[in-house]
Each structure stands twice: as C-alpha cells, then as structure tokens.
Structure 1
Amino acid sequence: MSDLQLREDIFGVEVKKHVLWEAVKWQLAARRQGTHSTKTRAEVNYSGRKILPQKGTGNARHGERGAPIFVGGGVAHGPKPRDYYYTLPKKVRKLALRMALSSKAKEGKVLLVDKVEIGEVPKTKKAVEFLKTHNVADQKVLLIVPQKDEVVIKSFRNIPTAKVLPVDGLNVYDILWADWLIIDKMALGKIYERLAP
C-alpha cells in the first residue's frame, strides 16, 4: 500500500451527474458498429409490375408487391448503416474523467499500490492472490497501470470482475463500472499529467 495523498484538483472535484452521463453516452455511441440495415421497396426481390388494374376491380389502388404496406415488402424509413460517433469537447471529456475519479475517491474506493507484482510470466493465480491481499476479490476492480503491460493484462484477463487499463486508456465508463480503483503509484503521476486542469 502507498501513503501518497490524492490531489484535490483531480480527485476532489464536485461531481455533476449530467457531465458523467454525457461522457458515457458519447463513449457508448462511438462503440456502436452501426451495421444495421433494412431493405427499401427498391431493394426487395419483387417484380415492379402493377399487381392489379388501377380501376374497375373494386380493389384498392396498388403499385408493386414490394410496397411497404404489404407483408414482405420494403421497410419505409428503416435503419441503414451509419456512424454514431459525434464529437464531445476535450474540456468536457477531461472534466468528466476528473469527476469520475472524484466520485470514487469520495466513496473511499481508491487504493494506491507501489506496484502490481505478478512476475515474469502471466499467472491468473497470482492475480487472484493480489486481489485477495487487498480484500477486493469479490468486487469489480479496475487496475490502472502506467503503460500497457502484457504480463499484468494476461494475468487478470480470465477474471471477469477485473479490468486492467493503462493511463492512456482511462475512461469514464470503466471507472464508473468498477467498485474499486487500484492505482499504481507510477500511474498516478501520469494521471496528474494527463488531467491537469
């Protein structure tokens, strides 16, 4: 465990739920594949022939069988492939990250450690031991490390309640998902660099 103090300008910000909501909405929108697609009346596999005469039969006026009014016809105004991404101001993104970290700090759910020690080879067993040592084995945990570390990532990969993120990949959604944040002491300095107001 580390006895470092958390900076107030990063971990002591007033939390506004709407800013967090905006950041999560933006993040989830960017993740959407947008590959959904429906066929219009021009794309369904039907003849374009008029199905009955315009007048004289007593039936309603109709064009081809592929019109949206018929079962099996095209879809009017249905979804087409599109990109859901939109831009959120950089200031808002940074503020939301500070607020997410602050909300965990206010709940007392932030642990600082000197280093996430696993060893030379990935071992899930050692990852579980690490979580048990800090009494968070049965809760959702986000480990924040200074940079991408394959040994640490692979060790925690098979634990469904644990995620490992380098400081560059830190995001609001994952912070709010976790019950506990475990921050490497080296990563804390990088967080301050990235989120300094």
Structure 2
Amino acid sequence: MYQIPVLSPSGRRELAADLPAEINPHLLWEVVRWQLAKRRRGTASTKTRGEVAYSGRKIWPQKHTGRARHGDIGAPIFVGGGVVFGPKPRDYSYTLPKKVRKKGLAMAVADRAREGKLLLVEAFSGVNGKTKEFLAWAKEAGLDGSESVLLVTGNELVRRAARNLPWVVTLAPEGLNVYDIVRTERLVMDLDAWEVFQNRIGGEA
C-alpha cells in the first residue's frame, strides 16, 4: 500500500493506493518494446534486381574478354544495382497479453510512487489555458522545471497551458502509458485521471 500526496487548494493530504509492491524491470521493457514496435511506420523499401530501372542485357560476353563474368548491370554486385534481402514495407506490431499491459502500467505508476515522484492534484487552481498561469501553479506545487514531468489530466485548458513547456509532456487520462511514464522523471495526475487509471488496471480509486 502506497501513501500518495494529494495537492488541494486547502493544502496537502495523502491517499492510500493499492499498487504493486514489486517492480519487474523486464516486464516494463516488454511493454515499452511493444509500444514502440506499434509506432514504427514500417515504410522502408528497397528494390530488388528485378525492380531497378536497368536493362536486363548481359553487359559483355561470357567468354574471351579477359574480364569477370557478369550478367546485367542491375545485379546486386554493382553500385546502383538491386538490393539482396533489403527491407520491404512491413507491420512491426505484435500482440501483448492485456494482463501484461495492465500489470506494466500499474508497475510504472507504482515505481514513481515508490520514488516519491507521483503527485495527485485535486484542482489546478488559477490555470485557465495560459502558460504563465501554469508556471505559477507549478512553482507553488514544487515543480521548477529541473525534472521532466508527465502531466495527465482531462482538463483541456490545463493541457494547453502546459504543452508549450519543454519539460512537460501532456496526456489525456485515456492516453496514460508505460513509455511516457518511464521517459519522464515525475508523474502528475488529477483525481479524475487517477480514477480512470484505477479503472484501467481494475483497482479501486
């Protein structure tokens, strides 16, 4: 059981959260690898010797020239010729069990909680879509830009206010994922986003 700080207009309090006690780095790696594989475009494409724009004529006779025997100039041995076993467009995505994905997400959040880098927010007071408003709020919350922050909230005005800052990555609650958690140093979520997260992993808010 973790005690997670909750920032509210009246001050700070703590919320008990049932998250995994043990963090499995390999499982996190599996989920991140799956995510990045899904993102790959897979558009790399090379031409074989049958596809390059060259004549198929034999460049010189087989015998009596004193030179090495060759076929057409589109053969892979020549510069500008076809490519052997080169990449072709393909889908790099694969399936990962839903239980593994859920467990990975829970572990990633638990890791931030264990490090004391998870902050829940009751309300972003005074933030109405302007970056300077978010900076003022962040300063009060102890976020000074020295660490990268993943901000998860359903409030479009808050996301708009923070998205221009180079040290903040913003996500809607439904978009919370392991890769963005592990590539940033702090995790900040509002209580609505926390509830969405709890529902996703099958826990209780």
Check whether TM > 0.5: yes
Once residues 69 and 118 of structure 1 are traced to their aligned partners in structure 2, the CA distance between those partners, rounded to angstroms, is: 67
Matched, 1:124 2:131: yes
Once residues 6 and 73 of structure 1 are traced to their aligned partners in structure 2, the CA distance between those partners, rounded to angstroms, is: 65
AA aligned opposite 1:155 = A
Q: Which has the higher strand share?
A: 2
Q: Say which of 165, 172, 181 aligns to 1:166.
A: 172
Counting aligned pairs with the same residue, the percent is 50
Once residues 184 and 124 of structure 1 are traced to their aligned partners in structure 2, the CA distance between those partners, rounded to angstroms, is: 18
Once residues 143 and 48 of structure 2 are traced to their aligned partners in structure 1, the CA distance between those partners, rounded to angstroms, is: 53
Once residues 118 and 64 of structure 1 are traced to their aligned partners in structure 2, the CA distance between those partners, rounded to angstroms, is: 72
Once residues 35 and 6 of structure 1 are traced to their aligned partners in structure 2, the CA distance between those partners, rounded to angstroms, is: 46
Q: Say which of 132, 136, 139 aligns to 2:143.
A: 136
Matched, 1:153 2:159: yes
Q: How far does residue 137 in structure 1 lie from its aligned partner after superposition?
A: 2.2
Q: Say which of 8, 12, 17 aligns to 2:25.
A: 17
Matched, 1:56 2:72: no
**Residue of structure 2 in register with 1:5 after alignment:** 15
Once residues 118 and 25 of structure 1 are traced to their aligned partners in structure 2, the CA distance between those partners, rounded to angstroms, is: 39
Q: How far does residue 25 in structure 1 lie from its aligned partner after superposition?
A: 0.5
Deviations 1:173-195 (A, max 9, x none): 11111211112122222221111
Q: Secondary structure at the match of 1:187?
A: helix
Normalising by structure 2, report the TM-score. Answer: 0.87
**Residue of structure 1 in register with 2:3 after alignment:** none
Structure 2: stretches of 5+ with no match in the other structure: 1-6
Structure 1: stretches of 5+ with no match in the other structure: none
Once residues 183 and 16 of structure 2 are traced to their aligned partners in structure 1, the CA distance between those partners, rounded to angstroms, is: 21
Once residues 165 and 3 of structure 1 are traced to their aligned partners in structure 2, the CA distance between those partners, rounded to angstroms, is: 24
Once residues 117 and 61 of structure 1 are traced to their aligned partners in structure 2, the CA distance between those partners, rounded to angstroms, is: 79
Label 1:118 to 1:28 Cα distance change in 2 as closer, same or farther (>3 A): farther
Question: Which has the bigger relative contact order, CA under 8 A and spacing at least 6?
Answer: 1
What is the RMSD computed on CA atoms of the aligned residues?
1.5
Matched, 1:110 2:118: yes
Conserved in 2, the CA contact under 8 Å of 1:13 and 1:98? no
Moved more, 126-135 or 15-24: 126-135
Q: How far does residue 45 in structure 1 lie from its aligned partner after superposition?
A: 1.6
